[in-house]
Structure 1
Amino acid sequence: MRIAFFVNSIESETPSYTTTALALAAVQRGHSVVYVEPGDFILRPDDSLAVSVAVVPEAPYKTSEKLHAALQDAATQKKTLAISDIDILHLRNDPSLDATDRPWAANAGLMFGRLAAERGVIVVNDPDGLGKAQSKLYLQTFPEVVRPATLISRSVAEIRGFIDQHSEGCIVKPLQGSGGKNVFHIATPGDSNLNQIFEAASGDGYLIA
């Protein structure tokens, strides 16, 4: 099989990434491996989908470091394939890494992943499922029995009222975002830093408490 790994950028990949380990395992099992970046898709006037790929050379790689080095060399000599030449497309990028500096790239995997799936490519994970899980609002679709009491709002008054109802404390953080940025533990309703916390966390939009 030909397996494609969609990543934020080939240059930023490292030997320690899980994607590199997956690619190494695939090559060692006799599969062809290619890497795809956000700017590599081509949707032509006849509605055919193509993709520019970095082809990992077939070789008896023993370590992730060896495969990673070969990938970096391959990135300078990309070739264009019809999407039908790809059997499996793994969406391995982190959209949050592109959200600020390259917003056009953040959702490229989801958009073109859907088009690839429509054309018969196995896409992992499902682009529609990933799209639904782009914010913590997705957690509210879970059964109430498995999730904590939650408030989502931009109203400071609403959030203060929610905190007042939870004397044991609660967590306040942006609805969007990742990596632990602007996540605050409010120990008591009388926390003296509430205004600063709200100001810091709400800069990214809605808050979830």
Structure 2
Amino acid sequence: RDRTLNLTLLHMLKEKQFEGKIALAARNESEARTYKSAGAHVVLRPYTDASEQGADALSEAMFLLPPDVDWPITVQEIQLKPGSAFSGSTIRVLPLRAQTGLSILAIRRAGQIIFDPEPDFQLFPGDHLVLMGDPGDLGYAETILHQSVGAVNTRSQDRFTMGEIRVAPNSSRVGQTLAELKFRQDYGATVVGILRGDMRISTPLLTDTLQPGDRLIIIGTEETVEKLKKLSPL
């Protein structure tokens, strides 16, 4: 797992006054020292033992070891693939909690981490779901999330894709915030990024205002994205 995510999760657990012991798997000695300095109780070093180097689960997982329980609760990332039946769905409709008992601790998207996502948080292909729960349920959770959309539902209008549309210099939308634009309500797509000259805004806020020449990175169904591209520049 990404070192930044591990350290962020460790910091969050300490802030929440988690009483168990925390163990992190390091990929090298420098990372091991960083985790130890940050307050991890145990640092696993699979790279020091050749027989352990093939143990992907060990190198990818973070374990929370409560003092009164003799089995680990695992925190693990599962990436939502483009063909997943749940791409475009909200967390609310995911059957993970009901079928596995796992909790979604955070979502990692485009280098940003969203903790405690709301039930109406919409998932997109490439999102990394940080799941917490019984290690034995993680395999089943991965199977659920990797379910493909059936052939009957794989028409182009049902598949999600990304596109880019420009904001014209004299557009009436210049100066409007994303909240005021009501992009999803009016156009059926979501703005997931803004390219502004040499600046890349990977997680735009609803309070961000549109500027002349902005290039909006949008995600939606193929049908919706194609329609919007024909309207460009807005």
Given the two structures, how large is their TM-score scaled by the length of structure 2? 0.27
Given the two structures, how large is their TM-score scaled by the length of structure 1? 0.29
Identify the structure with the greater strand proportion: 2
